[in-house]
């Protein structure tokens, strides 16, 4: 349904050129379109004229509206078509001006500029915005959870994974059992998850940055202090962890040795920026603490039977690994 304001007027054909010139009636009506497009309920502006070659020319100006309230609001406020026409009474045939408000009873189709423009924008924006939003959220989930898991490694990570699984089940049950699910329900769920994950990611990154801010200090071993002599030399083995390799006496991922059945201690210094540790495969021995940020140090103390063992950093097992010989 449409509501139409029709303004009828006649202009002497000899004065029609004045209506079309800059600042004239028709030019001012064309400029008025930009104001109309900002009005609630506005649909279209149509200007038509009769084709009489002589005499008076009839001009019909129609503004179309989606509801009567919008039309009334437009009529009672300026600028409007009637006010613009009244400014050009010098070219209008006296007594020919009429303003009619009408309701369209049957309309098969109508051109709706504002709505058409909005529809076109939606067709372009949404196919781009939706995949981009899904990709951004997926990247946040992958990056955020990886940083959090690295920060709370151990039993805390297991508890977090269990909590996330339970949360997913609860959300899935809510969605599946609610037949009247609204768009704002989904939006609220996604927003809450995003805020929680974003906050957890910031916390994990800030905790890691605090550790990286401390520069490692390597001290020269002195008399009675631990030496760099591998296994069984009377002192601890000082192993440096870089990004991403173990280092001893300038050798990367060196072959280490220890005495069988005797308690051996490795001193570990994280000289890199990432998180590292050392663990001996096929044993229960792992560095204490088991997570070292940049600048931190730890020890690993063990007593093993004779044999060959592998050691590694649990955070970078592909790069930081080597062989430990116990004899």
- Domain final residue pick, 212, 228, 256: 212
- Domain final residue pick, 64, 84, 111: 111
Long-range contacts of 133-137 (CB under 8 A, 24+ apart): 137/190, 137/194
Count of H-run helices and E-run strands, the chain: 7, 13
> Could you tell me the CATH number of the domain that includes residue 82?
3.30.70.100
Do 94 and 148 lie in one domain? The reply is no
- What distance in Å separates the CA atoms of residue 296 and residue 275, rounded to the nearest whole number? 10
Q: Which residues pair with 60 in a beta bridge?
A: 8, 48
State yes or no: pLDDT of 225 exceeds 70.
no
Q: How many residues does the chain have?
A: 327
C-alpha distances (whole Å) from 152 to each of 201, 239, 266 are 12, 25, 24
Query: Checking DSSP bridges between strand 321-326 and strand 307-312, what pairing results, if any?
Result: antiparallel
> Could you tell me the CATH number of the domain that includes residue 264?
2.60.40.420
Do 91 and 145 lie in one domain? The reply is no
Q: Which residues pair with 311 in a beta bridge?
A: 280, 322
Do 196 and 278 lie in one domain? The reply is no
Q: What pLDDT shows up at residue 242?
A: 94
DSSP string, 127-174: HHHHHHHHHHHHHHHHHHHHHHHHHTTTHHHHHHHHHHHHHHHHHHHH
Do 161 and 208 lie in one domain? The reply is yes
State yes or no: pLDDT of 110 exceeds 70.
no
State yes or no: pLDDT of 244 exceeds 70.
yes
Helix (H, G, I), strand (E, B) or coil at 308: strand
Per-residue pLDDT band for 234 (boundaries 50, 70, 90) equals very low
Q: What pLDDT shows up at residue 3?
A: 92
State yes or no: pLDDT of 60 exceeds 80.
yes
Instruction: Please enumerate in sequence order all residues whose Cβ is within 8 A of that of 42, keeping only pairs 6 or more positions apart, or say none.
Output: 36, 63, 64, 65, 66, 70, 74, 114
In contact, 241 and 270? CB cutoff 8 Å: yes
- State pLDDT tens for residues 305-316: 999 999 999 999
Do 9 and 66 lie in one domain? The reply is yes
pTM for this predicted structure? 0.35
Closest to 61 measured CA to CA, from 114, 100, 14, 94: 100
State yes or no: pLDDT of 218 exceeds 50.
no
Please give the residue range of the domain that contains residue 172.
122-212
| Domain count of the fold of the chain | 3
In contact, 2 and 43? CB cutoff 8 Å: yes
In a domain, 243, yes or no: yes
- Residue 119 or residue 294, greater confidence: 294
Report the pLDDT averaged over residues 101-118.
64
When mean pLDDT is compared across 116-130, 167-181, 199-213, 226-240, the lowest value belongs to: 226-240
Per-residue pLDDT band for 228 (boundaries 50, 70, 90) equals very low
Report the pLDDT averaged over residues 229-244.
72
When mean pLDDT is compared across 46-55, 301-310, 311-320, the lowest value belongs to: 46-55
When mean pLDDT is compared across 6-20, 141-155, 270-284, the lowest value belongs to: 141-155
- What distance in Å separates the CA atoms of residue 88 and residue 238, rounded to the nearest whole number? 96
State yes or no: pLDDT of 293 exceeds 50.
yes
Do 69 and 168 lie in one domain? The reply is no
Q: What pLDDT shows up at residue 308?
A: 94
In a domain, 86, yes or no: yes
- What distance in Å separates the CA atoms of residue 229 and residue 265, rounded to the nearest whole number? 11
- Domain final residue pick, 76, 111, 146: 111
The pLDDT mean for the chain works out to 83
Do 266 and 187 lie in one domain? The reply is no
In contact, 263 and 326? CB cutoff 8 Å: no
């Amino acid at each position: 349904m449409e509501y139409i304001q029709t303004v009828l007027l006649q202009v002497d054909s000899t004065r029609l050129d004045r209506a079309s010139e800059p600042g004239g009636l028709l030019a001012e009506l064309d400029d008025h379109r930009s104001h109309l497009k900002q009005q609630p309920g506005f649909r279209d502006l149509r200007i038509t004229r009769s084709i009489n070659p002589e005499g008076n020319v009839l001009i019909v100006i129609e503004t179309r509206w989606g509801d009567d309230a919008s039309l009334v609001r437009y009529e009672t406020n300026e600028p409007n078509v009637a006010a613009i026409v009244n400014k050009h009474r010098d070219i209008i045939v006296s007594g020919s001006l009429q303003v009619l408000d009408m309701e369209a009873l049957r309309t098969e189709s109508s051109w709706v500029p504002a709505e058409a423009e909005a529809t076109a924008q939606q067709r372009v924006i949404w196919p781009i915005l939706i995949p981009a939003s899904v990709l951004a959220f997926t990247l946040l989930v992958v990056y955020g959870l990886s940083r959090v898991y690295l920060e709370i490694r151990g039993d805390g990570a297991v508890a977090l994974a269990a909590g996330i699984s339970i949360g997913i089940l609860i959300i899935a049950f809510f969605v599946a059992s609610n037949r009247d699910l609204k768009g704002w329900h989904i939006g609220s769920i996604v927003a809450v998850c995003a805020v929680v994950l974003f906050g957890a990611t910031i916390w994990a990154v800030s905790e890691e940055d605090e550790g990286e801010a401390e520069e490692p200090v390597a001290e020269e071993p002195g008399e009675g202090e631990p030496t760099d002599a591998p296994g069984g030399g009377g002192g601890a083995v000082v192993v440096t962890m870089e990004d991403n390799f173990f280092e001893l006496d300038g050798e990367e991922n060196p072959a280490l040795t220890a005495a069988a059945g005797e308690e051996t201690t490795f001193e570990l210094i994280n000289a890199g920026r990432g998180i590292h540790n050392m663990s001996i495969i096929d044993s229960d021995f792992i560095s204490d603490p088991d997570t070292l940020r940049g600048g931190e140090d730890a020890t690993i103390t063990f007593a093993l039977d004779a044999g060959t063992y592998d050691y590694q950093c649990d955070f970078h097992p592909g790069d930081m690994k080597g062989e430990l010989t116990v004899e």
